[in-house]
Structure 1
């Protein structure tokens, strides 16, 4: 991978330098010896037909043909690395259709050809995203543009709390995009609340890019927003959930990392004890209800009550 890294850096230097860079300049930027540089040039020229020449009149290296017709040698990648590229491309394309467009169409085609997909006709990779909330392309593009330009953003927002919803107008400073559980979220500094907040892109309406520069928050603040508790909902003081699962739930409970700080133990009677920190009842309650007939919440009381209330409401709805 070191050779690939130098090849990519050399490619960037040749494309971006106003004048063909000299050998001494390239050696300094690539942080390599003369012999290593010569081997790199030989590999690029002979094995991958990359036409790099030394222009004596200009005293530096350049491409002999137009840069737009060149691609970096894909042979530098192992098959597992090419497969990882294909997986990342397909994940992004399914996560947000139209995001990649034609910008990496050549890379996508080359990767699939090198992996033999066109010859074999088989697909070695399938991604099936479940419960993905739809985000309009124009909304995603506007949010992404605000992030890249470091400008403020305003939009209408529909906040859902239980069975009720609240519509509001927000002006924010975008900090980062978050892909969580097959859905897109924007972490941003809300100027109305004067604090960091998390916004689901699927609940945004008519976002507009503003001319004011965004407020940039410290990375530690952004990381702290998600807190140390379970799920995406923020909170300052996590509570501790303790849950017992029946042995029948083991295949779906034991292999899962519920939280980096979880405590999990298989008891003598075959049940599974799980303890995790959490900040908000909503997400954890919904996840535990998947095991409604196979688990019992031991503590805290408010989590136990929330699960029991949801079960009771479900029984009442199906009572007839």
Structure 2
């Protein structure tokens, strides 16, 4: 049996028998004493298995002392789809944060822990990361020095001075903000913060921060529920508050419906199948920018109904795009 199988076997024996002697483990596994010692050490050090030696019973068992970890499960390929996506995405996010080594000293312990969770040894973890691919498109990389500074200010509850470039009107402004939350949306990092100049919550793209400096002033605190109500109620990164919300009704043709019916566009979306096989999706929005982009992605497979302003905006964008291909 290979090492991964031995790990499973050790886990099973300790869980089913409670306490197992070293000689009994040797007999069950059919390996040398040195190999078994290495396996037990690896389970403890790399996979965080709470295995202890019980001198009274002369055997090994899982630690049942107060404060010890609960039921231990070996990592590996039996993760669910959501779990394996979460682990690999987390690994990829952390790997992508640091291009110049600034954060390596902070991230390496977490990277090592994730790698240990992804496979029984380093080679297995690397193999898994090659066999399961998370594709990222249109990713905007943020300067890692600002991510570290803003993350530290967020944890320490300190205000930050920013020089920020606003893409919509190509203007630059200086602001004093109180960081509230870091958000990763479509593989791009944003900072949710209270802007002391405009006296309101704002969302800043980290890659548009031209300069940043931590201040000694204590940050203003905004309750998470207020933050979510203000910035998360609408569609995508342009959340907006409940007071600004409108609902868009989108009807997809029967072909597109087979795909869209399995997608979550918004946590509060409403949907239903129509009698002719089409699919109706309703989503809340305040700013139509991101919603418009997602609607245009489906081309002639979707139509906006009941929202004349949004429908005209989509029509105008399609007409402008068509004019460029004459």
Sort the Cα spacing of 1:49 and 1:106 in 2 relative to 1 into closer, same or farther, 3 A: farther
Other-structure match for 2:94: 93
1:135 aligns to 2:135 (yes or no): no
Please give the alpha-carbon distance, in whole angstroms, between the structure 1 residues aligned to 2:276 and 2:114: 52
CA distance in 2, matches of 1:288, 1:215: 37
* 1:234-284 CA-partner distances (Å, limit 9, x unpaired): 133311111211112123311012223322222222222222221111111
Q: CA deviation at 1:92?
A: 2.7
Give distance in 2, aligned partners of 1:172 and 1:43.
48
Distance 1:309 1:276 in 2: 21
Rounded Cα–Cα distance in structure 2 between residues aligned with 1:75 and 1:262: 37
3-state SS of paired residue (2:170)? strand
Q: Is the 8 A contact 2:116 2:125 kept in 1?
A: no
2:12 alignment partner in structure 1: none
Equivalence for 1:285: 292
| 1:232 counterpart residue number | 237
Within 2, Cα distance between the matches of 1:295 and 1:175? 37
Offset of 1:318 from its aligned partner? 1.7
Following the alignment from structure 1 to structure 2, what is the Cα–Cα distance between the partners of residues 105 and 305? 48
Partner residue of 1:114 out of 105, 117, 120: 120
Q: How does 1:12-31 map to 2 (within 5 A)?
A: none
Decide whether the 8 Å contact of 2:116 with 2:122 is kept in 1.
no
CA distance in 1: counterparts of 2:278 and 2:118, whole angstroms? 46
- What is the root-mean-square deviation in Å for CA atoms of aligned residues? 3.2
Is 1:44 the counterpart of 2:34? The answer is: no
How many residues get paired?
258
* 1:195 and 2:203 matched: no
User: Which residue number corresponds to residue 223 of structure 2?
Assistant: 218
| Corresponding residue of 2:189 | 184
- 1:313: how far off? 1.0
Question: In structure 2, do the counterparts of structure 1 residues 108 and 253 end up closer, same or farther at CA, with 3 Å as the change threshold?
Answer: closer
Q: Describe how 1:275-314 pairs up with structure 2 within 5 A.
A: 275-314=282-321
Measured in 1, the distance between the counterparts of 2:255 and 2:113 equals 46
Give unmatched runs, 5+ long, in structure 2: 1-49, 54-58
* 1:172 partner SS: strand
Question: Structure 1 225/94 Cα, relative in aligned 2: closer, same or farther at 3 Å?
Answer: farther
Indicate the residue corresponding to 1:69 in structure 2: none
Q: Supply the distance in 2 between the matched residues of 1:308 and 1:226 (Cα, whole angstroms).
A: 28
Is residue 173 of structure 2 the alignment partner of residue 168 of structure 1? yes
CA contact (8 A) 1:172 1:189 kept: yes
Q: Which residue matches 2:270?
A: 263
* SS of equivalent residue, structure 2 residue 190: strand
Separation in 2, partners of 1:136, 1:74: 40
The one-character-per-residue Cα deviations of 1:13-35 (angstroms, maximum 9, x if unpaired) are: xxxxxxxxxxxxxxxxxxxxxxx
Give the distance between the partners of 2:190 and 2:290, measured in 1 at CA: 15
Aligned to 1:241: 248
